[in-house]
Structure 1
Amino acid sequence: MSITLTRYLIEQQRTQGALPAELRLLLETVARACQHIAISVNKGALGEVLGSADTENVQGEVQKKLDIIANEVLIDANEWGGHLAAMASEEMDTIHPIPHRYPQGEYLLLFDPLDGSSNIDVNVSIGTIFSVLKKPNDDPNVIEPVSEQDFLQPGAQQVAAGYCIYGPQTTLALTVGRGVVMFTLDREQGVWLLTQENVQIPADTKEFAINMSNMRHWDTPVKRYVDECLQGKEGVRGKDFNMRWIASMVADVHRILMRGGIFMYPWDKREPHKPGKLRLMYEANPMGWLVEQAGGAATNGRQRILDIAPTELHQRVSVVLGSKNEVERVTAYHLEADKTSV
């Protein structure tokens, strides 16, 4: 008998004691919102959702029509349920507190409504990434206004994280701290069905994902690692590597969860004042936790991503994640370079 997302979450709540009821309801709401986004993605040109919206987000990036649609769907679906105190999105300047006309919950939701926007118009996989934190509250009897500071928690304090990938199948990957599970959307029934439990990333791999066109801008440790991969069997690694790069973090991480690999989006010399390109709160933290829960590792090249204390809502970070032994090798190269430069 197929297990639906609702049944899985209820069993986690009832038998495992690992999931509070309010968090279960929140995750179901996020999943339903992803179903709605999937419909818009699948319609493509038929739904007049392709192309640019001729606007920019807080990072100065040109927004696609689907970026805005997905953001609105997630807000509309989640603000009235009573599970949240506030939301934050990669597409919004600041946080979105729950309006006073709705009950306020104890959780904070962060999301990248549509990751991989550059792939929308060419029909390549894109996705939604989300992270759930618990609102800090020293006195449970006092409801205080939500601030950006409430969101600035290390990724290790996440209580749920996941992504939905809109590809040939629409798949939801989820963790509540008890491993990674995956659900596939049955479009005919309109339900999420459990298709994989206890997802595990192999510790070793022969695949790496990085944008090779930026090689001239990389720091020495990244160049060293990629050079070794390119040397193949004749080099120090003693094996041939394949390179994969989809330019959609959701798609690249999904491949790694399914069969292993390493994904790198490192610091480079073009914008030396920025620690990286990807967002800590909306991308690196949720993806880092999923990867760790599947037996992999995630660092910024020097330290565990989930241990980084955020200082701002749209903070950027370098990302190295995937198969544990490869991530540890890249991290060791960075630390070794730091020692020799002192």
Structure 2
Amino acid sequence: MQAQTFSTFLAKTQRYFSSADHDGLPRVLNDVASACIKISSIVRLGALAGTSGSLASTNTHGETQQVLDLESNRIFLEAGQISGLIAGMASEEMEQPFIENHQQKGRYLLVFDPLDGSSNISLNLSVGSIFSILRCPDGVEVPALQDFLQPGSQQVAAGYALYGTSTMLVITTGQGVNGFTLDDALGEFVLTHPDMAIPHEAKEFAINMSNQRFWELPVQRYIAECLAGVEGVRGKDFNMRWVASMVAEVHRILVRGGIFMYPVDEKTRERGGRLRLLYEANPMAFIIEQAGGLASTGYEPMMGVQPLSLHQRVGVILGSKVEVERVVAYHHQQQD
């Protein structure tokens, strides 16, 4: 059977899109996929490309920027201007949105983390890109910052690229989740993981254990039960994983099941959490829930959170439905 390329897949599934997205969304997604292919090429070259290492600058969050952070951001911005359908873009690396200047009115807004886990670059570990596509509000000719502040439930599409042993693109348009692997010979993504579904329960958890003393009691309780293993109330042993790359963590859980947590704790409470809502938490929540999982802050559904600022942070708990429901229940019990 002939391999189904990403562009062919979009053409075949186009009939499931709303009339407003029928023509435009496939073009935008193809442009994003092209950006991910370019970033993959640079990431794989590593030091040979002369793009490894840190800069003296920091991004809007005060984090040290890697050379590849800015190069990946540039690639996304260029790709987002090809179709003329994206009215504005927002990124982890930019304090303010980039507003497209063209004659044709853009239908969409693109928000993205151009290179998630970039601190892993010097270690030759997996990194990735995360993106979310929103509709530009009706009647808006030139989008302003507030037009980007849409809850995750309003996403038209979301996805991530994983630059690992192979490069994968995983997307949802609200009709399930599909995974594509980059075929270098074709120079295109090919469908390799159709209809991805996350196991409802599993025996793995991903969390930064170094923050244990700062966690809230519901998280402390859940992890203590996992660590107690077969002798504890869960009656089974758990494995712990931590890669320090959200894309890598979520991809593993999507394939094997389990739970990923970066909860609000005493260190991050004043900032609202560690991960960004619009271009990290929301797109991953959309993917996980379309695959049958669940995503929450611990206190409310992730995609129900109303953003108040472009770089708003939030606590993240997502993964297999049974596991997330247990942690959420512990949070609600604490409130009671």
TM class by smaller structure: over 0.9
Greater than 6 Å deviation, 4+ residue runs? none
Question: SS at 1:146's partner residue?
Answer: coil
Segments of 5+ residues of structure 1 without an aligned counterpart are none
Once the two structures are superposed, residues 193-228 of structure 1 have per-residue CA deviations (whole angstroms, 9 ceiling, x without a partner) of 000111111111100000001101111110000000
Unaligned runs of 5+ in 2: none
Matched, 1:256 2:269: no
Cα distance between partner residues in 2 of 1:90 and 1:163? 15
Partner of 1:291 in structure 2? 288
Q: CA RMSD in A?
A: 1.0
Alignment match, 1:57: 59
In the TM superposition, residue 16 of structure 1 has moved relative to its aligned partner by 3.1
Deviation at 1:338, TM superposition (A): 1.2
The alpha carbon displacement at 1:76 in A equals 1.1
Kindly provide the amino acid, as one letter, of the partner of residue 135 in structure 1.
Answer: C
Aligned sequence identity (%): 52
Is 1:66 the counterpart of 2:68 in the alignment?
yes
Residue 185 in 1 paired to residue 182 in 2? yes
* Structure 2 residue matching 1:309: 3-state secondary structure: coil
State the secondary structure of the residue aligned to 1:55.
strand
Asked if 1:33 corresponds to 2:30, the answer is no
1:280 matched to 2:284: no
How many residues are aligned here?
333
Instruction: Name the SS of the counterpart of 1:193 in structure 2.
Output: strand
For 1:47-91, what per-residue CA distance to the aligned partner results, in whole angstroms no more than 9, with x for missing partners?
111110221100111100010000000001112421111000011
Please state how far the C-alpha of 1:271 moved relative to its aligned partner: 3.5
TM-score under structure 1 normalisation?
A: 0.96
- Say which SS state the counterpart of residue 271 (structure 2) adopts: coil
Partner Cα separation in structure 1 for residue 16 and residue 63 of structure 2 = 43
Alignment of 1:178-257 (within 5 A): 178-257=175-254
Alignment of 1:25-174 (within 5 A): 25-100=27-102, 103-137=104-138, 139=139, 143-174=140-171
Partner of 2:327: 330
Shift, 1:99, TM fit:
2.0
**Amino acid in structure 2 at the alignment position of 1:302:** Y
- Alpha-carbon contact 1:114-1:129 (below 8 Å) kept: yes
Between the aligned partners of 1:17 and 1:99, the Cα distance in structure 2 is 27
Whole-Å Cα distance in 2 between the matches of residues 104 and 36 of structure 1?
27
Task: Tell me the distance in 1 between the aligned counterparts of 2:256 and 2:212.
Answer: 25
Residue in 1 aligned with 2:8? 7
Using structure 2 for the length normalisation, give the TM-score: 0.97
Inter-partner Cα distance in structure 1 for 2:168 and 2:259: 21
Equivalence for 1:267: 264
Alpha-carbon displacement from aligned partner over 1:137-156 (angstroms, at most 9, x marks no partner): 1x4xxx53210110111100
Give the AA of the match of 2:54. Answer: S
Paired residues of 1:210 and 1:244 also in contact (CA < 8 A): yes
- Counterpart of 2:186 in 1: which secondary structure? coil
